[in-house]
A and B are shown apart, each in its own frame.
Chain A
Amino acid sequence: MSTLVFLEHHGSGIQKAALGVLSKAASLDSDTSAVIIGSGVSGLAQEAAKYGAARVFIADDASLAAPLPQARVDIIASLVGAHGFQNVLFGASVLASDIAGGLSARLDAGLNWDLTDLEGSASALVGKRSALGDTVLVDVGWTSEPRLGLIRSGSFEPAERAGAGAVENVAIALEDFSSKAQMVEQANEAQTGPSIEEADILVAGGRGLGAPEAFSELEGLAAALGGAVASTRAVVDSGWYPYQTQVGQTGKTVSPKLYIACGISGAIQHKVGMQSSQVIVSINKDPHAAIFDFSDLAVVGDLHDIVPKLTALVQERKG
């Protein structure tokens, strides 16, 4: 028993990022297992086998229906105790990060996060991680087992490789504190309106807009350019703009021909959703803003001056 991959699911499907981690793990270690935790999840085992799982552990119970981390720590910790996995890997997400953090404390096991690649073998794993806002790439290691790793979303594409997929049901024993947090209302945001993923040009706004009304400036520019408006979590959380337009780790991943970032600091969680845009132009009044590190054209200035002028110039040119 060597590597265990946590397969996160939402609704009736396993997350693509988790399947990507599973197929990568299986390519490094033929003895890779998967674990699926939830309510009514037995049917997902086959999917895991398709991407290389030799064994699929299923923890299926009504008490596990809500995607909350702590009960999942209990289950994975007992699997590690019973089977002695050398590595436990996760596709990064809000849920997976909280599970991995809790597991690290529970098992006194090292956790490396934001990994973009894995090398070596099951017994000598090396992680690649970018750090300090992606200004350095570091090789990271672990000094004890199990090694815990959170893999940045999008790092590995799922690749089909048949695994034996022997299903094993897991007995469920939870700690007293693990079920104290309860889901009152679970996210299931309906998709409405045009998708920002399809736009060739995105004009994105962050908290630097100063007020929700300022989004009209961006809408003007987007209309002139024939594009759509995107946003950051900070403004979505504040209720300034709809969640469907959010770019980043917990929002959409986009790769338009042009991404114009206005009043956005360039936090790593935003960057992961837009870094593969072909051309990135950013406007920010802070000359040290992180967004400039990965922009093609960096404009130090006030967006409220520049955006309306640019809109007028584009309109003029288009006639």
Chain B
Amino acid sequence: MKIAVCVKEVPDAGPLRKIDPDTKRIDRSGDRSLNTYDLNAIEEALRLNEAGGGGEVVLVSLGPDRALESLRKGLAMGADRAVLISDDAAVGSDLVATSLALAEAIKRESPDLVLFGQAAGDSDGAVLWAAVADRLRLPVISQISELEVAGGNVTAKRQTEFGYDRIQAPLPVVLAVSDSLNEPRYPSLKGIMGAKKKPQDVVSLADIGVPADRAGTAGSRTTVTALNPPPSRGDTQKIEDDGSAAQKVLDYLVERKLV
């Protein structure tokens, strides 16, 4: 099968993530890596083709040129090539603009499956697949914790607020997978060495037929107007376990009459 996997470079989690007060956008100047939830989507694509007689796995991403470095991790895991939409006019794209650019890039590939991770670690939207599926006019299934592809159909189990559904749809289809679906492999040394040589297309908006005014801030329909720190929960007391943590936790609970 030909499988397109939508992946995103995100700022590293940890204490350094912040929003730039001038642009009111996420500060992307620090360390970055491939969104960890997207590794589950890459892993699933690789497994499906390993089990089902081969095919091609194409990573599709919208981001700056330097995002190629993060995409290489996916290539090192085993994806065959990458398509990165990179354009000055695409900076600041929201859901409306991002979904259009990705859909146009995916259309050129005509994949059998389009896979997404469960959420982008920086935006936590968990909505992009639904927008892309609508633009591609394809069925969509999200939150997938079990997946089976057979006879031109996918059958997926997903968790909602009420328990587990089982949903079926014909190919081609757009899928978003949960982080419990699989355990992403680590790239082998050979994989890492080979990744640089795999095809990596950097395409502009014009290349994929997206007018500049439908991308970036011009093509976006949402804005951030003010930034505030959230109400704090009070100070966190932090201890590192040197063998005495259990005792310290007990003391803490006793002090608060919880034991």
Binding site for B on A (CB under 8 A): 10, 15, 67-70, 73, 93-95, 97-106, 108-114, 126, 130-144, 150, 175-177, 180-189, 201, 207, 225, 233-238, 243, 249-250, 257-258, 268, 279, 281, 283, 287-288, 290, 292-302, 305-306, 309-310, 312-314, 317-318
Residue on B nearest A144 in the bound complex, by CB: B221
Give, as a whole number of angstroms, the nearest-CB distance from A108 to chain B. 5
**A144-B221 Cα distance, complex, nearest whole Å:** 6
A-B CB contact pairs (8 Å), 30 listed: A10-B162, A102-B131, A105-B95, A105-B103, A109-B221, A111-B94, A111-B221, A113-B125, A113-B126, A113-B127, A132-B17, A133-B17, A135-B17, A138-B227, A141-B223, A143-B221, A144-B221, A187-B164, A207-B180, A238-B145, A243-B163, A250-B160, A281-B252, A288-B14, A297-B239, A300-B239, A301-B240, A306-B241, A314-B250, A317-B254
- Establish whether residues A297 and B162, one from each chain, have CB atoms under 8 Å apart when the complex forms: no
Residue on A nearest B237 in the bound complex, by CB: A297
Binding site for A on B (CB under 8 A): 13-15, 17-19, 24, 26, 94-96, 99-100, 103, 122, 124-135, 137-143, 145, 155, 158-170, 173, 178-181, 220-230, 233-234, 236-241, 245-250, 252-254, 256, 258-259
Most buried by A among B134, B170, B181, B240: B134
- Establish whether residues A300 and B227, one from each chain, have CB atoms under 8 Å apart when the complex forms: no
Give, as a whole number of angstroms, the nearest-CB distance from A228 to chain B. 15
- Establish whether residues A298 and B239, one from each chain, have CB atoms under 8 Å apart when the complex forms: yes
- Establish whether residues B130 and A139, one from each chain, have CB atoms under 8 Å apart when the complex forms: no
In the bound complex, residues from chain B placing their C-beta under 8 Å from that of A182 are 167-169
- Establish whether residues A187 and B160, one from each chain, have CB atoms under 8 Å apart when the complex forms: yes
**A106-B96 Cα distance, complex, nearest whole Å:** 9
Give, as a whole number of angstroms, the nearest-CB distance from A142 to chain B. 6
| A70 touching B222 in the complex, CB below 8 Å, given contacts A101-B131, A136-B229, A137-B229 | no
- Establish whether residues B250 and A310, one from each chain, have CB atoms under 8 Å apart when the complex forms: yes
**A233-B144 Cα distance, complex, nearest whole Å:** 12
In the bound complex, residues from chain B placing their C-beta under 8 Å from that of A110 are 94-96, 220-222
Give, as a whole number of angstroms, the nearest-CB distance from A70 to chain B. 7
Give, as a whole number of angstroms, the nearest-CB distance from A91 to chain B. 10
Instruction: Give which listed residue, B96, B139, B229, contacts A180 with CB less than 8 A.
Output: B139
In the bound complex, residues from chain B placing their C-beta under 8 Å from that of A306 are 241, 245-246, 249
- Establish whether residues B96 and A313, one from each chain, have CB atoms under 8 Å apart when the complex forms: no
Q: Enumerate the 9 nearest inter-chain pairs by beta-carbon distance, A residue then B residue, closest first.
A: A301-B241, A110-B221, A101-B130, A189-B163, A237-B180, A187-B163, A101-B127, A309-B246, A139-B226
Interface on chain A toward B: helix, strand, loop, or mixed SS?
mixed
**A100-B225 Cα distance, complex, nearest whole Å:** 22
In the bound complex, residues from chain B placing their C-beta under 8 Å from that of A70 are 133-134, 139-140
In the bound complex, residues from chain B placing their C-beta under 8 Å from that of A15 are 161
Instruction: Give which listed residue, B180, B222, B247, contacts A234 with CB less than 8 A.
Output: B180
In the bound complex, residues from chain A placing their C-beta under 8 Å from that of B13 are 288, 290
| A183 touching B125 in the complex, CB below 8 Å, given contacts A97-B130, A132-B18, A137-B228 | no
Instruction: Give which listed residue, B95, B169, B236, B248, contacts A181 with CB less than 8 A.
Output: B169
In the bound complex, residues from chain B placing their C-beta under 8 Å from that of A95 are 160
Residue on A nearest B231 in the bound complex, by CB: A137
- Establish whether residues B237 and A101, one from each chain, have CB atoms under 8 Å apart when the complex forms: no
In the bound complex, residues from chain A placing their C-beta under 8 Å from that of B141 are 181
Most buried by A among B122, B130, B164, B237: B130
**A76-B19 Cα distance, complex, nearest whole Å:** 34
**A241-B137 Cα distance, complex, nearest whole Å:** 37
- Establish whether residues A126 and B225, one from each chain, have CB atoms under 8 Å apart when the complex forms: yes
- Establish whether residues A105 and B241, one from each chain, have CB atoms under 8 Å apart when the complex forms: no
In the bound complex, residues from chain B placing their C-beta under 8 Å from that of A250 are 143, 159-161
Instruction: Give which listed residue, B159, B162, B181, contacts A188 with CB less than 8 A.
Output: B162
- Establish whether residues A237 and B221, one from each chain, have CB atoms under 8 Å apart when the complex forms: no
| A136 touching B258 in the complex, CB below 8 Å, given contacts A97-B127, A143-B221, A237-B180 | no
